[in-house]
Amino acid sequence: MSESAERIWLIGGTGESAELARSLAALNIPCTVTVTTPSACALYPGAATLRIWVGQLTAATLPAFLQQENIAAILDASHPFAVEVSRLAIATAQTLPLPYLRFERSELQAAPAAPEIVFETVESLLSSAYLEGQRVLLTLGYRWLPAFQAWQNRATLFARILPSVPALNGALAAGFTPDRLIALRPPVSEALERALWQQWQVTCVVTKASGAAGGEAIKRQVAQALGVPLVVLQRPKISYPQQTDSVAIALDFCRQIGAIVRPASKQIR
């Protein structure tokens, strides 16, 4: 395989990864984006230098992927809570070795007057009595809902999920009845967020510290306006070899890799 065929592995599934993919395509830097669901493919542009790989990579399947795609470096723009793929990528980068850069959206700071309660993990939340007797809106994603199944008789639980069959089936299996579910694809406007909280008369909302792109900023605004406490689960703590929240720095990382693996006549300027 020629040197010019070496590619960036962009770990995707987020709006930021789509922005990075568009910029890499514009720079003509070969890139393979990995996503876990077919619906996520719609985020990315059609470009000759861009490939999209759909599926769940594991330690067993990753070596074949890296060889097939001729990966030269890893740009990890996965969701802040997608810890499994980040840990796998970091371990792989250190073993081979491969250049690795983590691109992660900035965390938001709570407003001084915001009614906010922070828990490190969902386990620490559920081991407390905070949700007892409350009308709780969960905006965590359907994979987190089984953890709350034992709380169905201790609180009135509602959940917002993606409009997909796996999400609906997962929520129903976790004990949520159809009248306590709403399927919406982000982004959710402030007006709709406020109306939903008021319709269900929620007394607290549980969310992840996903940043502005994850709708966290709007939830903070609505929480402050309605006086509804916002329970925020902190991001998992991972030691990244290199990390940035700057698109310019991420693109410069990819340019440097491109300059190394390409013939001089094809360097990006």
In a domain, 185, yes or no: yes
Shared domain for 100 and 120, answered yes or no, is: no
What lies within 8 Å, CB to CB, of 211 at 6+ separation is: 80, 105, 106, 107, 108
169 in Cβ contact with 143 (< 8 Å): no
Longest dimension (CA), the chain: 67
Q: What is the dihedral of CA 212, 216, 220, 226, to 10 degrees?
A: 130
Shared domain for 42 and 145, answered yes or no, is: no
Mean pLDDT by 10 residues, the chain (269 residues): 71 92 95 91 92 95 95 95 94 95 79 76 95 97 95 97 93 97 91 97 93 80 94 92 95 82 35
Domain interval for residue 7: 3-106+238-266
Instruction: Report CA Rg, the chain.
Output: 21
Q: Residue 46: which CATH number?
A: 3.40.50.720
Shared domain for 68 and 135, answered yes or no, is: no
The dihedrals phi and psi of 175, each to the nearest 5 degrees, come to 95, 10
Give dist(CA 75, CA 20) in Å, integer. 9
The dihedrals phi and psi of 99, each to the nearest 5 degrees, come to -60, 140
Give the total number of structural domains in the chain.
Answer: 2
Give dist(CA 251, CA 256) in Å, integer. 9
Shared domain for 189 and 87, answered yes or no, is: no
In a domain, 159, yes or no: yes
Shared domain for 67 and 141, answered yes or no, is: no
Report in angstroms the alpha-carbon separations of 194 from 137, 144, 190, 238.
Answer: 12, 23, 6, 33
Shared domain for 184 and 248, answered yes or no, is: no
Q: Residue 217: which CATH number?
A: 3.40.50.1380
Q: What is the pLDDT of residue 143?
A: 92
Shared domain for 226 and 250, answered yes or no, is: no
In a domain, 111, yes or no: no
Shared domain for 120 and 74, answered yes or no, is: no
Neighbours of 225 (CB within 10 A): 12
Q: What is the pLDDT of residue 223?
A: 93
Q: What is the pLDDT of residue 265?
A: 31
